[in-house]
Homo-oligomer: A and B are copies of this chain.
Amino acid sequence: MDTHTLDDTMRQLGARARKAARQVARADDRTKSAALRAMAERLRERKDWLQAENAKDLEAAKRNGLEPALIDRLTLSDKALALMAAGLEQIAAMPDPVGELTETRLRPNGMQVARMRVPLGVIAIVYESRPNVTIDAAALCLKSGNAAILRGGSEAIHSNTALGLIVRAGLEAAGLPADAVQVVETTDRAAVGKLATMTEYVDVIVPRGGKGLIKRLSEEAKVPVIKHLDGICHVYVDRDADLAKAQAIAFNAKTYRYGICGAMETLLVHADVAPAFLPPMSRAFIEHGVELRGCERTRAIVPEAVPASEEDWATEYLAPILSVKIVDDIGQAIHHIETYGSQHTDAIVTESLAAARRFQREVDSSSVYVNLPTCFADGYEYGLGAEIGISTNKLHARGPVGLEGLTTLKWVLTGDGQTRG
C-alpha cells in the first residue's frame, strides 16, 4: 500500500474507532456482556469455518518453514476455540469497572468531590502470531468500555480477519457499533507506526510480542505505551531462608515454563547458605536439563557451572539456562537487582521478617515477592480475572494489567452554585 493510501486508511479507521468509543463508553454492562456472550456463541457455531480460515494461515506457515512452536500457537484447535469462548463468558461475568465513584468527599463549602472510573477511549493492541489475542483483547477492551484496534501478525491474517467478523457480529447482535473492535487487515508494517503516532485517535497502545516489536514501537510512539521490554527476574535465597522451601521455589521459578517473562533468569544466594543450598539445587537443575552459569564463588561449589560473563547478568534467556551468583548480604542482592534487573518481578526466600520487609520495600520492581516463585507473574494468579499484559512502566498500570488498567479516573464535582474567592 502506498504511504498516502495507508495514511488515509489508518486515519479513517482511527476516526471510526473514536466515534465508536464514545458509544461503548456509554453502554451499560448488560449490553457489553450480551455482546461478549454473543461472540462466544458464534465462536462455537462457526467453528468449522474458523478452522478452514485458520488452515490457510497454517498452510502458509508450513510453506514458509515456521518453527513448530509458532505453528502450534497459530493453530485454532477445538480446544483453543473452546478456551476462547469460555474466556469471553468469564470476562462477561466480571464486574464492570466503569462508573465506579471513589474518594467521594464533601468540601467545607458544601461541594462534592469524587473520582469516576471511565474508559481510556481507543486502545490499540499490536501482537504477533497468537490469534487468541484477537478475542482476549477485544473482550477486555469492550468490557472496560473502550474501542479497540487490533493488529495481529501477518502470519495469522486469515484467522484474525475471521475472528474479527465474529466479534463484529457479536457487537451488532447486542446493538453496539461494529467499529468498537476493528481488526487491521493490511499486513503493511508501517500500519503499526501509524497506530503509535495517531495521538488524536489512539489513547494508548499495548504491544504484545517479541522484544524487537516492543522496542521499535516504543521508540516511534507518541501515544502512551503500556509495556514491558525484559523480564530479567531474580530469586534471592537469603541467609535466613528455609532451604527446602528455597529449592522448591527456585526450581519452580525456572522450570514452570522457560519462555514466560516471569521465569527466573538469575539465582542470587547468600554466601552463608550457599555451601548447603547450592549442591542439591544444582543437581536438580542439571538433571532437569538446565545449564548453569556461575560467578567464581559459585563455581567453587558447583564445578559443573560454566563461568558467567558480565552479559549473563543482563540477559533474559527464556531458555533452560540460569545464571547463579553468591552475594554477601541482602544489600548486595538488592544492588545486583537494581543494576541488572528489568523491574519486572523479583523474589526473596527468607524466614526473617526484617529481610522480607526490607526486600519488599526497597526492590523497585513492578512485583516483589516473599517466598513465592517469580513465575506467579500473571493477572489470573493475582485475581485480576484476566490480563492484557504485564507492564514495567511506573506510571499508570504497573505489573499485570487487568480491566482496571484499561480505565482512568476523572474528577467529578457537584455543587449548588458555589463560587470561588
Chain A interface residues (CB < 8 Å from chain B): 22, 25-26, 99, 105, 107, 111, 113, 116, 118, 120-121, 203-204, 224, 242, 245, 248-249, 252, 256-257, 338, 356, 360-362, 364-373, 375-376, 381-383, 393-396, 398-400, 408-421
Known: A372-B111, A409-B398, A410-B367. A417 touches B242 (CB 8 A): yes
Q: Max chain B CB contacts within 10 Å: which of A99, A224, A375, A420?
A: A420
A419 to B373, CA, bound (A): 6
B414 near A372 with CB under 8 A, answer: yes
> Within 8 Å CB of A394, what residues of B?
120-121, 203-204, 224, 408
A71 to B408, CA, bound (A): 39
> Within 8 Å CB of A121, what residues of B?
364, 394
A369 near B224 with CB under 8 A, answer: no
Tell me, rounded to whole Å, the shortest Cβ–Cβ distance linking A412 to chain B: 5
> Within 8 Å CB of A375, what residues of B?
420-421
> Within 8 Å CB of A411, what residues of B?
366-368, 382, 398-400
A372 near B249 with CB under 8 A, answer: no
**What 9 pairs across the A-B complex have the smallest Cβ distances?**
A252-B419, A395-B396, A245-B417, A372-B415, A367-B411, A399-B411, A370-B414, A396-B396, A369-B413
B376 near A111 with CB under 8 A, answer: yes
> Within 8 Å CB of A420, what residues of B?
252, 256, 373, 375-376, 381
Tell me, rounded to whole Å, the shortest Cβ–Cβ distance linking A301 to chain B: 23
A416 near B371 with CB under 8 A, answer: yes
> Within 8 Å CB of A362, what residues of B?
22, 25-26
B361 near A26 with CB under 8 A, answer: yes
Nearest CB in chain B to that of A26: its residue: B362
A249 near B419 with CB under 8 A, answer: yes
Tell me, rounded to whole Å, the shortest Cβ–Cβ distance linking A256 to chain B: 5
A366 near B399 with CB under 8 A, answer: no
Nearest CB in chain B to that of A219: its residue: B222
**What are 13 pairs between A and B in contact, CB < 8 Å?**
A26-B362, A120-B394, A121-B364, A121-B394, A245-B416, A256-B419, A367-B411, A368-B411, A368-B412, A369-B412, A369-B415, A394-B408, A400-B411
State which of B248, B356, B383, B395 has its C-beta within 8 Å of the C-beta of A414: B356
* 9 other A-B residue contacts (CB within 8 Å) besides A26-B362, A364-B410, A398-B408: A224-B394, A245-B416, A256-B419, A356-B414, A368-B411, A368-B413, A370-B412, A373-B419, A394-B408
> Within 8 Å CB of A118, what residues of B?
361, 364
Nearest CB in chain B to that of A372: its residue: B415
A415 to B116, CA, bound (A): 34
Nearest CB in chain B to that of A351: its residue: B416
Tell me, rounded to whole Å, the shortest Cβ–Cβ distance linking A266 to chain B: 19
A421 to B253, CA, bound (A): 11
